[in-house]
Amino acid sequence: MFKHHSALGLATALRPVQPVTLLRPHAASRAARFFAEKFPGRSLYAVKANPSPDLLQVLWDAGISHYDVASLGEVRLVAETLPEATLCFMHPVKAEEAIAEAYFSHGVRTFSLDTIEELEKIQRATRNAADLNLLVRLRVSSDHSKLSLASKFGAQPSEVKALLMAARQAADALGICFHVGSQAMSPAAYGEAMSRVRDAIVEAAVTVDIVDVGGGFPSWYPGMEPPALETYFEIIHNAFEALPISYSAELWCEPGRALCAEYASVLVRVEKRRGSELYINDGAYGALFDAAHIGWRYPVSLVRDEASDAREMAFSFYGPTCDDLDHMAGPFMLPADVQAGDYIEVGMLGAYGCAMRTGFNGFGIEDRVIVEDEPMASLYTDIPERKRATNVITL
């Protein structure tokens, strides 16, 4: 894999025709060290956010030893990439064959569930193994988060007592987990969810060994500037300490976006301008899926070797395919003189952007280059000018 100092140096030297994914291993390593050192418990990387083997190795080297896997494909990937890693199968609905292979072939001992049926499936698939860590997933609110995860999974309050009691009988270690939704903008999301955990423990009167607060930890995007992550950690720690659990109980979390958003950005070329619409060579079927389908706004910068004096204006993007759905409404703020042939860096795409790329319509080819400069925004640095993106990158 090639290395370059910066997006600007790459664009100037190579004038790439295809989109280029810019990788910043130092940013992912910094985020991983932050969680490993400051979260008051164990951090499991949520592999679905970005399953790149290179990234998995970066996170491992920075102190992340446990991985939240949600499919047999992810189990196999992490087991092959990091043979010594601990895998936790945290999807609440799994194929029985997947459970069996994970347990017998890859040493997985931790599984989540949200129904009695799933518990029975796990027991059958593992032949009633006595060394299981079973985490019961509660349904909690996603009101504080930009993307809800409150509909698909999680046991309802009326189901939790019986499920916890049954899981306690089958588990070596019993846990409770939840997910407050993606991009939680308030630490209160975790405080409220932990209140549900407390109620569940009291009602079921069971000994709980693990409390897993899931993912949802935010990153920085335009219009989404979250509080410091330490504030989230403090609220979680205080709530955990107040739970009716033993002193030996473990606290877990499952950051995905927060560990990898700053890892990657994409350098795109403007192929055409039509008023305030820019036709670029990546889009909804590439790294900008979320920008198209849920209106996610990413930071953008015009990458040009001569500074622009033009005022900023709002643009929308069209991707390269022949599909009208390949449209990113934005608004994306860029200098008004942007034109065909210019390059734009779209930042904070390490989470989900890189993972969602397809080859639809014959597009999807990309180069990957390691760059040494800082990401366009960061929650892990004290340098004020890196807290938010600027709109023009120049020499």
Mind listing the pLDDT tens digit for each residue in 304-357?
988 888 999 999 999 999 998 999 999 999 999 999 999 999 999 999 988 888
Residue 10: pLDDT above 90?
A: no
Predicted local distance difference test score (pLDDT) of residue 387: 44
C-alpha dist (Å) from residue 271 to 65, 277, 282, 304: 43, 11, 10, 15
Structure tokens given for 49: 């956010």
- Mean pLDDT (the chain, rounded): 92
What angle is formed at CA 147 by the lines to CA 146 and CA 151, rounded to 5 degrees?
135
Predicted local distance difference test score (pLDDT) of residue 96: 97
Residue 105: pLDDT above 80?
A: yes
- Domain 2-23+261-393 superfamily per CATH: Lyase, Ornithine Decarboxylase; Chain A, domain 1 (2.40.37.10)
Mean pLDDT across 48-57? 97
Predicted local distance difference test score (pLDDT) of residue 62: 97
Predicted local distance difference test score (pLDDT) of residue 23: 96
Claim: this prediction has a pTM higher than 0.85: yes
* All CATH 3.20.20.10 domain ranges in the chain, comma separated: 26-260
Residue 383: pLDDT above 70?
A: no
Residue 390: pLDDT above 90?
A: no
Q: Decide: 348 and 389 in contact? Cβ < 8 Å.
A: no
Report the distance separating Cα 43 and Cα 253, nearest Å: 5
Predicted local distance difference test score (pLDDT) of residue 320: 93
What sign results for the dihedral spanned by CA atoms 254, 257, 262, 264? positive
Report the distance separating Cα 125 and Cα 115, nearest Å: 16
Structure tokens given for 160: 């939790």
Mind listing the pLDDT tens digit for each residue in 185-235?
999 999 999 999 999 999 999 999 999 999 999 999 999 999 999 999 999
The pLDDT-based confidence of 362 (bands split at 50, 70, 90) is: confident
Predicted local distance difference test score (pLDDT) of residue 199: 95
Predicted local distance difference test score (pLDDT) of residue 391: 46
Phi and psi angles of residue 300, each rounded to the nearest 5 degrees, phi first: -130, 150
Predicted local distance difference test score (pLDDT) of residue 2: 66
More confident residue, 143 or 91: 91
Mean pLDDT across 51-73? 97
More confident residue, 384 or 365: 365
197-200-205-209 Cα dihedral, nearest 10 degrees: -30
Predicted local distance difference test score (pLDDT) of residue 142: 84
What sign results for the dihedral spanned by CA atoms 196, 199, 201, 204? negative
- Domain 26-260 superfamily per CATH: Alanine racemase (3.20.20.10)
Mind listing the pLDDT tens digit for each residue in 229-275?
999 999 999 999 999 998 899 999 999 999 999 999 999 999 999 99
Residue 384: pLDDT above 70?
A: no
DSSP structure class, residue 221: B
Residue 37: pLDDT above 90?
A: yes
User: What's the residue count for the chain?
Assistant: 395
Q: Decide: 75 and 98 in contact? Cβ < 8 Å.
A: yes
Question: What are the catalytic residues?
Answer: 322
User: Nearest CA to 143 among 198, 91, 176, 183?
Assistant: 183
Mean pLDDT across 165-182? 96
The pLDDT-based confidence of 281 (bands split at 50, 70, 90) is: very high
Pairing outcome for strands 20-23 and 264-274: antiparallel
Report the distance separating Cα 389 and Cα 377, nearest Å: 5
